[in-house]
Amino acid sequence: MVTPQELVLAALEARSFAYTPYSGYSVGAALLTKSGRVYTGCNIESAAFSPTNCAERTAVFKAVSEGEREFDAIAIIGGRAEETGRVAEFASPCGVCRQVLREFDDGGMTVILARSADDFKAYRLEELLPFSFSQENL
């Protein structure tokens, strides 16, 4: 079983691979599948700006492209580089990433926002994206 702490640590490691020369805002994410696997992602920026991909979507796209579609939780950690190396804020997923997560949410997905492995808050995706539009609407 993967604990929330372990998931945050995986997100923190993924954050070290973030490519953020423009914003300096580095994010890591770790997505736990119902089958118990963990897919990580970091944000990847572009000089053209709009092709930038958030950490959460990198993780989701890696997982889905390898056949995974059922997820239990995602841990997210990030923020501007601090001199201490510590993460000062809770990075909250952008609207686009919330919608992408919603695509694969059966109503039970947990979103963990972390500053460290022992400082995190957990939400249901539904709380972060109420009245969402998804497959049932089509």
Active-site residue set: 56
C-alpha–C-alpha distance, residues 25 and 21, integer Å: 9
43-45-47 Cα angle (round to 5)? 180
Decide: is 81 part of the binding site for ligand THU (CB under 6 A).
Answer: no
For residues 118 and 56, what is the distance between their CA atoms, to the nearest angstrom? 20
| Contact flag: residue 46 with ligand THU (CB under 6 A) | no
Cα–Cα dist 27/20, whole Å: 9
Query: Does residue 105 interact with ligand THU by CB under 6 A?
Result: no
Residue 112 in contact with ligand THU, rule: CB under 6 A: no
Q: Is 93 in the site for ligand THU (CB under 6 A)?
A: yes
The pairing of beta strand 110-116 with beta strand 119-124: antiparallel
**Closest distance of CB 65 from ligand THU, Å:** 18
123's tokens: 């939400």
CB 1, min distance to ligand THU, A: 26
Find the shortest distance in angstroms from Cβ 98 to ligand THU.
Answer: 9
Contacts with ligand THU, residue ranges (CB under 6 A): 20, 23, 25, 27, 43, 45, 52, 54-56, 91, 93-94, 97
